[in-house]
Structure 1
């Protein structure tokens, strides 16, 4: 069996890796913030849609009552 060789990374490579790691962390924080904003936006949109749905249901109930009152 051959001898194991120790891998030694030059300092410039370590610096590049640290810079890359810093960049990835910054990108991840940005994406996390974007996802949080998106979730809040979707939650607001859903609340608006539910309110619209309730208003439409109320209007349909009114129309049905008028229709049924006219049939009797």
Structure 2
């Protein structure tokens, strides 16, 4: 997994072990959907992924309300 300034990139665990595939999430809603559909699995991975989603949510809120 990689947390970028504008996205969270996950290994699609549904594709393992046959294929190594990555999923790019640009919003917290996409991150939440990937946790819900089990693209990411396991408590540590879910926790770190959720943290990345929280960072995306904070960035979106700051862009929407820059003076609050």
What interval of TM-score do these two structures reach, taking the shorter chain for normalisation? 0.3 to 0.5
TM-score, normalised on structure 2?
0.36
Higher percent of residues as strand: 2
Higher relative contact order (CA 8 A, sep 6+): 2
Determine which structure has the larger helix proportion and give its number.
1
Taking structure 1 as the reference length, what is the TM-score of the superposition?
0.34
Structure number with greater Rg is 1
